[in-house]
């Protein structure tokens, strides 16, 4: 039996339904989900904030089971599936496998798939059942699965989303860091992604100094504990330019060779631009409706690179899995909910009342 939460109508609570487990696809697998992350982006999706969701067959969001952060065990596998996987394997699901046919998908850049209207090919955003379910049915194994090995259960669901995005962002600074290996790096936003970024920055650019900016003192204290050299508590009431000057000084007055904006407001992007060193890279991640009014001459004369990063590739997720295994990263704060508590969990997340990452624990589900 398959038990899953579905969207009925936007803005309305999800409904839990039971249905027979379908047959396993010939090249695919059925994964019994053990832990599934509830991502902030799920809230935007469920509420259909852009109101323009439409999959390739013209359907809207009703009937979709959300959730793209999944770890579990293979319980059935197709006869033509990749032979490296077998029943009983503990796996992570890569949610951004795309159409597997366009030029980006064929070149390992499926998170930038060209045939993916409204993200409907992503796990939990269309036909492929997402994490708010006892099982997911994947059409293919090699494009969707990675073995989880020794990664802790509560860390695993975060890897395909927040950790992968943070890692891709940190790696995107590489070209600028090549010429300045001990340059300063600016991270704006000390939430989940920012915290992952500190860990990855220390691992990839061990000589660099990290400065973290946030409006929340508690998050900045966590950032310090994770290895940030400097922190700056931003105040919405204080003078913008004075605060930018103080952040700039944290780079030993030389400017930041790499900056990542996990917040994505007009102000945070402007901080990055003003504090960038010549030849620096600014990577934009956060989606908070910001706009940037920039002087093109300034960007050209200072040789600044502006990049946008969306999640990352399957290959990059493999690197994340290896890095997390090697570093035994397991100090991420989590709150667990059952599948029946899904609407309660979503409301708590909406109100900002969840401590750390919200995770659905499906190990105690009765349809096992």
- Give residues in contact with Zn ion (CB under 5 A): 39, 98-99, 102, 105, 113, 115, 161
What is the b/e burial string over 61-76, where b = at least 16 CB atoms within 10 angstroms of the residue's CB?
beebbbbbbbbbebbb
For residue 32, the cross-strand partners are 73, 135
Decide whether 191 or 280 has the Cβ nearer to Zn ion.
Answer: 191
Name the residue with tokens 């409907």. Answer: 120
Query: What is the nearest approach in angstroms of Zn ion to the Cβ of residue 40?
Result: 7
Tokens 């809230």 locate to: 43
The distance from CA 100 to its chain's CA centroid, rounded to whole angstroms, is 21
Cβ(50)–Cβ(109) below 8 Å: no
Closest CB 69 distance from Zn ion, rounded Å: 5
Q: State the residue number with the nearest CB to Zn ion.
A: 39
DSSP 127: S
* Beta carbon of residue 63, minimum distance to Zn ion (angstroms, whole number): 21
Least Å distance, CB 302 to Zn ion, is: 34
User: How many distinct helices (H) and strands (E) make up the chain?
Assistant: 11, 15
Q: Considering the complex, state which of residue 135 and residue 357 has its C-beta at the smaller distance from Zn ion.
A: 357
Q: Are strands 69-77 and 276-284 parallel, antiparallel or unpaired?
A: unpaired
Nearer to Zn ion, 45 or 232 (CB): 45
Q: How far is the CB of 1 from Zn ion (least distance, A)?
A: 27
Q: DSSP letter string over 75-106? A: EEE-TTS-TT--TT-EEEE-S----SSSHHHH
Contact 123, 93 (CB under 8 A): yes
| Residue 305 vs 336, nearer CB to Zn ion | 336
Local structure of 213: helix, strand or coil: strand
- Looking at beta carbons only, is 99 or 299 nearer to Zn ion? 99
CA–CA dist 262, 269 (Å, integer): 9
* Residue 314 C-beta: closest distance to Zn ion, Å: 13
**β-strand 145-147 against 90-93: which pairing, if any?**
antiparallel
Indicate the residue among 95 and 280 with the shorter CB distance to Zn ion. Answer: 95
Q: How near is the Cβ of 177 to Zn ion at its closest, in Å? A: 26
Instruction: Tell me whether residue 158 or residue 177 sits nearer to Zn ion (CB atom).
Output: 158
């Amino acid at each position: 039996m398959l038990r899953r939460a579905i969207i009925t109508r936007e803005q309305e609570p999800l409904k839990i339904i039971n249905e027979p487990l379908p047959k396993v696809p010939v090249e695919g697998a059925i994964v019994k989900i053990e832990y599934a992350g509830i991502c902030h982006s799920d809230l935007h999706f469920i509420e259909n904030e852009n109101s323009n969701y439409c999959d390739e067959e013209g359907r809207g969001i009703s009937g979709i089971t959300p959730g793209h952060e999944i770890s579990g065990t293979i319980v059935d596998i197709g006869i033509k599936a990749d032979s490296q996987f077998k029943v009983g394997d503990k796996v992570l699901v890569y949610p951004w496998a795309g159409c597997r046919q366009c030029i980006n998908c064929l070149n390992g850049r499926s998170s930038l798939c060209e045939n993916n209207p409204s993200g409907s090919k992503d796990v939990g955003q269309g036909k492929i059942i997402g994490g708010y379910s006892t099982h997911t049915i994947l059409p293919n194994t090699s494009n969707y699965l990675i073995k989880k090995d020794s990664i802790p259960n509560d860390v695993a669901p975060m890897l395909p989303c927040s950790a992968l995005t943070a890692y891709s962002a940190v790696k995107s600074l590489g070209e600028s860091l090549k010429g300045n290996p001990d340059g300063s790096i600016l991270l704006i936003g000390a939430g989940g992604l920012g915290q992952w970024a500190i860990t990855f920055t220390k691992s990839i650019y061990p000589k660099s100094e990290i400065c973290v900016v946030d409006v929340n003192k508690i998050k900045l204290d966590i950032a310090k504990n994770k290895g940030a050299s400097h922190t700056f508590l931003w105040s919405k009431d204080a003078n913008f330019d004075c605060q930018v000057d103080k952040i700039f000084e944290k780079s030993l007055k030389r400017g930041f060779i790499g900056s990542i904006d996990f917040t994505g407001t007009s102000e945070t992007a402007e901080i990055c631009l003003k504090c960038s060193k010549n030849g620096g890279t600014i990577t934009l991640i956060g989606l908070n409706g910001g706009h940037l009014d920039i002087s093109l001459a300034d960007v050209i004369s200072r040789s600044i690179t502006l990049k946008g990063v969306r999640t990352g590739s399957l290959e990059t997720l493999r690197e994340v899995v290896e890095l997390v295994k090697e570093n035994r990263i397991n100090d991420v704060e989590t709150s667990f909910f059952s599948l029946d508590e899904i609407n309660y969990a979503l409301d708590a997340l909406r109100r900002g009342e969840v401590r750390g990452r919200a995770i659905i624990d499906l190990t105690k589900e009765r349809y096992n």
